[in-house]
Amino acid sequence: MKLDFAKLPVFEGVMTFLVIVIALTFVFAFKATEGKSEKGAATGSPTAAATGSGGTGGGLQVTAADYSFSPTELTVKAGAAATVTLKNDGPATHNLRIAGADNTFNTDDDAVTDPLAVTAGQTATITWTAPTTAGDIKFQCDFHPQQMQGTIKVQ
């Protein structure tokens, strides 16, 4: 007697389970790459109140590569909304987090890129409103906070 495994109920159950697992893996993989806003982060149109590298119409551009930001200093008018585009030209995963009004990282008033993890060759945006008073606000990469830091000059 020869067994045909394809006709056994256990085989059908295992195959059904594998198809479901593969389908769910794709669903969650695509869901993970969709833009999820973290508190303080939003996307939108740039304003003319910001100046920086490569910006058009007030947008700011920061490039992450080889564990450094370029430029490391941006300028924004007090109270203005600014859209920052982060382009990852390096091999590692990066992001850009702007400290909140308290100028401290990882508090409820931070703004961070959307998506939160920017892989090699990917870009992300962050729309942030500057404080209404002049001063310096820090930004960093959460993945490499010691190496990748910068300052936003609020004028």
Please, which contacts does 66-73 make with residues 24 or more away whose CB atoms are closer than 8 Å?
A: 66/90, 67/92, 67/144, 67/147, 67/148, 68/147, 68/148, 69/96, 69/139, 69/141, 69/148, 69/149, 69/150, 71/150, 72/149, 72/150, 72/151, 73/150, 73/151, 73/152, 73/153
CATH number of the domain enclosing 146 = 2.60.40.420
Tell me if 40 is assigned to some domain. no
Tell me if 41 is assigned to some domain. no
Tell me if 83 is assigned to some domain. yes
Q: What is the pTM of this model?
A: 0.64
Tell me if 42 is assigned to some domain. no
Tell me if 7 is assigned to some domain. yes
Tell me if 143 is assigned to some domain. yes
pLDDT of 133 reads 92
Phi/psi for 88 (5° steps) reads -95, 105
pLDDT of 55 reads 37
Alpha-carbon span 135 to 107, nearest angstrom: 19
* Tally of domains within the chain: 2
Give the pLDDT band of residue 108 (cuts 50, 70, 90): confident
Tell me if 44 is assigned to some domain. no
User: Two tokens at 51?
Assistant: 């100046």
Measured in Å, how far apart are the chain's first and last C-alpha atoms?
A: 86
Q: Is the pLDDT of residue 6 over 90?
A: no
Q: Is the pLDDT of residue 96 over 90?
A: yes
Q: Is the pLDDT of residue 45 over 80?
A: no
DSSP three-state, residue 13: helix
- Please say whether the beta carbons of 85 and 110 come within 8 A: no
Which range marks the domain in which residue 3 is found? 1-34
114-144 pLDDT, tens per residue? 999 999 999 999 999 999 999 999 999 999 9
Give the pLDDT band of residue 59 (cuts 50, 70, 90): confident
Q: What is the mean pLDDT of residues 12-32?
A: 66
Tell me if 136 is assigned to some domain. yes
pLDDT above 90 coverage of the chain, percent? 56
